[in-house]
A and B are shown apart, each in its own frame.
Chain A
Amino acid sequence: SAVISQKPSRDICQRGTSLTIQCQVDSQVTMMFWYRQQPGQSLTLIATANQGSEATYESGFVIDKFPISRPNLTFSTLTVSNMSPEDSSIYLCSVGRASGANEQFFGPGTRLTVL
């Protein structure tokens, strides 16, 4: 399994600001994903981070709000832009070996609170 780290682990931000979350993997992986998890809720896929091309966003998520970078096979960032209290959540990156049909390994998550 891959070892995944995320920075920051938590943050408290003001409304209207932006936060960039980093995800680092200890080995090269094909697929990287970004999820959002409200406390006590399930995981919702935000987007698939594609290396060398634009991320693929799920319904309800747009690039202007959640820009994603994937400069190489071990690193990705997710930015939460122009934040509002509704963006308060846990953001998790995960990696998979091939397509989404294979098991995913999750990072420890970033707990974001927007005031």
Chain B
Amino acid sequence: GQQVMQIPQYQHVQEGEDFTTYCNSSTTLSNIQWYKQRPGGHPVFLIQLVKSGEVKKQKRLTFQFGEAKKNSSLHITATQTTDVGTYFCAGHTPLVFGKGTRLSVIA
């Protein structure tokens, strides 16, 4: 079936450092979605990217969709302890989730 690969699986950063997670599909995606799941919580929708090469920003978060619409990235600038959680990318129909990147932020 369809798959979405995501790396890294874990990332530990010092507060104030930047963080990036990468998502890749072997086939072209019509869109890519990003979700955040806090420890003990449920996934919460962050954003959807649709256009080739699209870049969207939400405060310190920058989302990119590759030109070929097969990859995407989420970059967090100057991480804070509130950024802790697992970030999932998701694509295809029905939605297929990547394995997620668990972010730990050390104060």
Contacts and interface: CB of A to CB of B under 8 A. Distances in A.
Chain A contact-residue range equals 20 to 34
Contacts of A40: 102
B94 A100 contact: yes
B48 A103 contact: yes
Interface residues of B, number: 21
A101 B93 contact: yes
Interface string B38-80: 0001111100100000000000000000000000000000000
A106 interface: yes
A58 interface: yes
Contacts of B102: 40
Interface string B9-25: 00000000000000000
A44 B100 CA distance: 12
B94 A45 contact: yes
Contact of A48 (B1, B48, B94, B100): B94
Nearest to B6: A42
A106 B46 CA distance: 12
Interface of B: 1, 30-31, 33, 41-45, 48, 88, 92-100, 102
Interface of A: 1, 33, 40-45, 48, 58-59, 92, 99-109
Given A103-B48, A104-B33, 6 more contacts: A41-B99, A100-B93, A103-B33, A104-B45, A104-B95, A106-B43
